[in-house]
Structure 1
Amino acid sequence: MTSPIDPVQLTADLLRCPSVTPVEGGALVLLEALLTGAGFTCTRVDRGEVCNLFARWGGKTNGRTFGFNGHTDVVPVGDEAAWTQGPFSGVIIDGWLWGRGATDMKSGVAAFAAAAIDFVRDTPPDGSIVLAITGDEEGDAVDGTVALLDWMQANGEVMHACLVGEPTCPNEMGEMMKIGRRGSMTAYFTVKGVQGHAAYPHRANNPLPPMVRLMDRLASHTLDQGTDHFDASTLAVVTVDTGNTATNVIPSESRATVNIRFNDAHTSADLTAWLRDEADKVAAQFGVEIAMQTTVSGESFITPPGPLSDLVATAVQAECGVMPELSTSGGTSDARFVKDHCPVVEFGLVGKTMHQVDERVEVAQIIQLKQIYTRILRDYFA
């Protein structure tokens, strides 16, 4: 009889792969070998400098398909000398597993892979299971999950529901799952004036007053009061720069950046139009030129509470004794791409140490996460 897959050991093995975006580091090679050996059909879907892995158990037309999305790439370790344990050591000390990616999110990938392998071995379902694992979630995310979804569409691959294994619990295991995410966009402003001597301001056109006025108008504006499933949208001024080191010179140019996290009351297009209108008003008032560029990381989305969220919440409550809060808080995740393919929710372990020096996870949580994922699969195919 085949022994169950140990999700803790698998997480430790993945942690020893130095897979800082976009380096694959051996993590996907390890998963591909493991899943192939368990009867999954695996395909590398690499694009650009990014490595991705698609794995399927069961045929394309074999009933329903439950999907999992996750990533094996990690953020840089920072000051390696500041780590108590090596960032790629994967060591267990006093019930904690240490390493970059321990919470975000190699443990989630390991827990689902272990659950899926044991599930199809023990009780082959009337349906299919897909794992779509990327190496580009922590980077630009252009050639990661997007590439996987593009490949799936081109090859007739379908998921009917998807679970993203990001860490979702703030403090206690099981307390929160994500049913949507806020949108995220960044706007870059450049005010062009006329340089001059600070003693003769009438001969110059100082870009700083219009820039400060614009930033105040944007930061003081209330975007909304929140919606049914989202908190109020926020706008943060994250930098204002001139690069001017002289005290007797009025600069010719000033730059500023704002970041907006927005709910489902807005689209990035609507917000871009509002930003442009505000900039034009200030430009006309001060007689300057204001250039603007925007980048959009993702639109706001919501998977309405229903069968998929009920499935995950019921499994979490059964294993943790806690009914998870349905939340849309936090930053962005690759669920923002998956939502265009199929209904998607997110559930994972406690994320307190993610991206920190000394990132680590409680071993017990990894075991519990595998149990939750196993129950989700069992109930989905019941």
Structure 2
Amino acid sequence: MLPLFSLCPLSCGLAALALLLAVPAHSQTNAAPTDQFITGADLSFLPHYEKKDVRYFDEGKADDLLKIAKRNGWRIVRVRLWVSPEDKPEYQVSNLENVALLGQRIKATGLQFLLDIHYSDVWADPGHQKKPAEWENLTFPQLVERVRDYSRVVIMHLRENDAMPDIVQVGNEIKNGFLYGSGLNGAGNQLGGGFWEPDKGGIERGLRLFEAGVKGVREASPLAPPQIMLHIPDGQDTGFIKWYFSLLDTTVQDAKPKLSLDYDLIGLSYYPSAPWDRKAGYEPWHMSHLTNSMSYLATRGKPIMVVESNWPHAGKVQAELSGAPEFEFSPEGQAKFYQALIGAVRAIPNGLGRGVLAWETDTLNWDSVFDAKGNALPAVRALGEK
């Protein structure tokens, strides 16, 4: 076991059918109970924008964004955590010390707290799962132990600072692997878990790292552990979803020594109008694709959340599409998108739909639920509707 003081620098302290919401909840077969369904947003950048004097308004009155969220019926806020982020103000909000401070505010406001551990010094996503700089040269057994230790220390620190998360993502969008190096062809791939190399054991290594993270989280709070989420992207891609979970099942079944895949929730990203996908002839993913994926996932018996999603309220995006989008790119269209998404998740078979979170609604960007001046758009209320 490596010394705990090396886990992070001293300075860090220790995310359907159109308008499904229009269908009354009581008429939805096996819909998730309202009291179990949670909605909200990722607000990881909030402290950064507050320091830049960005203000948020609800019905013309400036207020703390967390209070606006609570008042409009949101129930959960998601915050990402990086190990040793670069010394930039917008990145430092994601170190452990600042995440704990935001977590305190979230809990004090009466909201639930979803912690998104990236296990990286920077963004982790389908194309990037870069190991923290301090972990780059560890052997694989050392890396497994480090992930477990780091996860335990993080949760203990948050618990001791009145910022205990209700849900913890062990990894972010782990589609292609987990902690596999500097990139798909980066150094250290053989020591991490690259899912694209099943014949070289990358999948099993990735799951052993995931297993280690889960163990660390649970060890830090054995009496009342947070729920563990497995988070993957491309929720609209049913073919990928089926392949992915089949791969996980086979790997767990064949693993020696025994491998556990211990998690409580499935988290999905769903970006039907992602800017990186816009090109000639592109049409956004219809929500029915997501519905198909979620219906399949329901057969696995795990509750499901969409933890990253958004839809534009403005911009030139619509002109770049070859066909009519499912919803207008307007404040009203954005609200209808979130209403439909909430309805689709609530309608997951067997009552397994658990919630929806919007992505980066604190940014005042073209896809935020606040306009460029910080005024709440109709989607703020739509996200609080049940």
Q: TM-score range by the shorter chain?
A: under 0.3
Q: Higher strand fraction: Structure 1 or Structure 2? A: 1
Rg: which structure is higher? 1
| Greater helix fraction, Structure 1 or Structure 2 | 2
